[in-house]
């Protein structure tokens, strides 16, 4: 018996192609062609990859379908595409004799199935196809909106000048590591450093939580936790602390004091006109959070410190063993303690190569710092076990943090 799948099912397959396009750096549009309830061809945007302005998802899928059928006449077939076809793709659809076209998101700039004009309703054309629009429109539109937001952010970020005493990691090294549900932004602070931060802002947000990652990691540590906060109406701000991630990296370890980091964060939050109700700080970033609150009038801000319970060797012990006057190279013991068991892509980012050894300042300047007990007043402290991947918090820890923040 032939199983009849829904339009939503086939559009979800087209969305998978759009995601592949996004990962390849193309505008995220995908398409599939269906014959007798079965997908016989797939396509995604490849204009950049092939240096071909005609390589839209629909055209790529049509060519594959023609090869599969052994003919350029594709009568009786259905095409599912995540974005309303343009004039070029509509023409290719007519020439291929596609019977039915289903699209997801409308295109108010180049759409030719009803938005800008409707070629499918022109009586003088020698072929007509049935058209249905708006299938999984939110999902199809959302991936495009996020893509162009990140593109604009990258363009703005590239225009921010680089200080002579600073290094900057290429965004290429973060390919596949930045989750699409955490929009990227860049802020040029008063000291001239480019700060990368993620700002997840629900349509109606009740309160704001500031999340400070562990050194030498970056904001992606909070990706799962952010989803929990967003669904509960919290605005979540997750910066890459200076020296980490996509934020600028001072070459001198002496810069990495609690006061320096607190100044940069205070500047960012002032720019956003935000006072966080809660600050979650992992590991040594708790000192920064404490300094930040003490230097402001945020008496009502709650501080939550999450540290690791490590049976092998404590962060403090590792730091003392390799601090002082000894030069710490990027693969000495203290670094290995933090980089152990990272995925290959995470490790590649954390040890990103530069023309000189300046990026190791973060290891020299921060990894020997443990949480100062003199700042412990006002902190709610949690311990977490070591996981197989030090970068990840784990579901149980994330749930405990979420509940603690929610309960106020």
User: What pLDDT, in 10s, does the model give residues 360-377?
Assistant: 666 666 655 554 433 444
**Which candidate, 263, 292, 258, 237, places its Cα nearest to that of 369?**
258
Q: Report pLDDT for 339.
A: 65
Q: How confident is the model at residue 327 (pLDDT cuts 50, 70, 90)?
A: very low
Q: Report pLDDT for 106.
A: 96
Q: Which residues are catalytic?
A: 58
Q: Report pLDDT for 96.
A: 96
Higher pLDDT: 174 or 98? It is 98
Residue 38 has pLDDT above 50, yes or no: yes
Give CA–CA dist 182/394, Å, rounded.
Answer: 18
The answer to whether residues 10 and 36 touch, using CB atoms and an 8 Å cutoff, is no
Residue 357 has pLDDT above 70, yes or no: no
The answer to whether residues 9 and 3 touch, using CB atoms and an 8 Å cutoff, is no
Could you tell me what percent of the chain has a pLDDT over 70?
77
Q: Report pLDDT for 269.
A: 95
Q: What is the pTM of this model?
A: 0.60
What residue ranges define each of the domains in the chain, with the CATH number in brackets? 7-148 (3.40.140.10), 162-310+327-407 (3.40.50.1820)
Q: How confident is the model at residue 352 (pLDDT cuts 50, 70, 90)?
A: low
- Establish whether the linkage from the previous residue to 216 is cis, with ω within 30° of 0: yes
Task: List, as residue ranges, the binding site.
Answer: 56, 86, 89
Give CA–CA dist 261/132, Å, rounded.
Answer: 53
Q: Report pLDDT for 276.
A: 94
Q: Which of 105-119, 140-154, 334-348 has the highest mean pLDDT?
A: 105-119
Task: List, as residue ranges, the binding site for Zn(2+).
Answer: 56, 86, 89
Residue 28 has pLDDT above 90, yes or no: yes
Tens-place pLDDT, residues 253-304: 889 999 999 999 999 999 988 999 999 998 889 889 999 998 888 888 988 8
Average pLDDT, the chain: 82
Q: Report pLDDT for 325.
A: 23
Residue 97 has pLDDT above 70, yes or no: yes
Could you tell me what percent of the chain has a pLDDT over 90?
45
């Amino acid at each position: 018996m032939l199983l009849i799948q829904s339009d939503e099912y086939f559009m979800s397959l087209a969305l998978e192609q759009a995601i592949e396009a996004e990962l390849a750096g193309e505008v995220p549009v995908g398409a599939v062609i269906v014959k007798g309830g079965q997908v016989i061809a797939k396509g995604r945007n490849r204009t950049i990859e092939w240096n071909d302005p005609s390589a839209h998802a629909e055209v790529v899928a049509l060519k594959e379908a023609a090869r599969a059928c052994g003919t350029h006449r594709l009568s009786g077939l259905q095409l599912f595409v995540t974005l309303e076809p343009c004039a070029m793709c509509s023409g290719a659809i007519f020439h291929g004799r596609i019977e039915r076209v289903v699209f997801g998101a409308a295109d108010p700039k180049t759409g030719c199935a009803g938005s800008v004009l409707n070629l499918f309703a022109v009586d003088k054309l020698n072929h007509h196809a049935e058209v249905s629009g708006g299938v999984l429109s939110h999902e199809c539109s959302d991936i495009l909106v996020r893509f162009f937001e990140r593109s604009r952010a990258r363009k703005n970020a590239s225009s921010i000048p680089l200080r002579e005493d600073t290094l900057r990691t290429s965004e290429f090294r973060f390919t596949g590591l930045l989750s699409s549900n955490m929009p990227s932004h860049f802020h040029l602070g008063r000291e001239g450093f480019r700060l990368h931060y993620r700002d997840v802002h629900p349509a109606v947000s009740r309160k704001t939580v500031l999340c400070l990652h562990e050194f030498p990691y970056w904001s992606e540590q909070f990706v799962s936790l952010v989803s929990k906060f967003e669904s509960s109406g919290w605005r979540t701000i997750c910066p890459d602390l200076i020296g980490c991630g996509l934020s600028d990296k001072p070459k001198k370890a002496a810069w990495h004091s609690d006061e320096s980091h607190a100044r940069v964060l205070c500047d960012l939050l002032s720019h956003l006109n935000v006072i966080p109700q809660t600050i979650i700080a992992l590991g040594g970033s708790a000192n920064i959070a404490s300094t930040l609150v003490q230097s402001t009038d945020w008496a009502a801000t709650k501080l939550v410190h999450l540290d690791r319970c490590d049976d092998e060797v404590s962060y403090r012990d590792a730091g003392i063993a390799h601090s002082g006057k000894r030069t710490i190279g990027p693969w000495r013991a203290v670094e290995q303690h933090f980089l152990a068991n990272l995925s290959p892509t995470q490790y590649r980012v954390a040890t990103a190569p530069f023309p000189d050894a300046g990026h190791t300042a973060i290891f020299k300047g921060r990894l020997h710092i443990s949480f100062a007990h003199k700042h412990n007043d006002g902190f709610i402290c949690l311990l977490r076990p070591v996981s197989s991947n030090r970068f990840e918090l784990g579901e149980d820890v994330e749930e405990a943090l979420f509940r603690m923040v929610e309960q106020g």
